[in-house]
Amino acid sequence: MDGTRLQGRVAAITGGGRGLGRATALRFAREGAAVMVVDADAANAEAVAAEITATGSRASACRCDVTRRAEVEAMVAATVTAFGRLDILVTYAGVALFKPFLEVDDAEWDRQMAVNVTGTFLCAQVAGRLMVQQRHGRIITVSSVMGQRSGDRRSSYGMTKGAVIALTKHMAAELGPFGVTVNSIAPGPVQTELWLRANPNAAKTRDTYLQNIPMGRLGAPEDMANAAFLLASDDAAYITGHVLNVDGGFIATGVRDGVY
Binding positions for ligand NAD, rule: CB under 6 A: 14-15, 17-21, 39-41, 44, 64-67, 92-96, 115, 119, 142, 144, 187, 189-190, 192-195
Work out how close the CB of 29 gets to ligand NAD at its nearest, in angstroms, rounded to a whole number. Answer: 17
Closer residue to ligand NAD (CB): 75 or 130: 75
CA distance 21 to 15: 5
Closer residue to ligand NAD (CB): 32 or 144: 144
Select which of 157, 209, 238, 260 is catalytic.
157
CA distance 70 to 132: 20
Distance of CA 202 to the CA centre of its chain: 22
CA distances from 107 to 19, 100, 110, 143 (A): 24, 14, 5, 21
Q: In what order do the strands lie in the sheet with 88-91?
A: 59-63, 34-39, 10-14, 88-91, 137-142, 180-187, 243-246
Work out how close the CB of 179 gets to ligand NAD at its nearest, in angstroms, rounded to a whole number. Answer: 26
* Contact between 52 and 28 (Cβ < 8 Å): no
Closer residue to ligand NAD (CB): 73 or 178: 73
**Residue 211, phi then psi, degrees to nearest 5:** -65, -20
- Does residue 157 have an active-site annotation? yes
Work out how close the CB of 245 gets to ligand NAD at its nearest, in angstroms, rounded to a whole number. Answer: 10
Closer residue to ligand NAD (CB): 132 or 210: 210
Distance of CA 200 to the CA centre of its chain: 23
Work out how close the CB of 259 gets to ligand NAD at its nearest, in angstroms, rounded to a whole number. Answer: 30
Active-site positions? 157
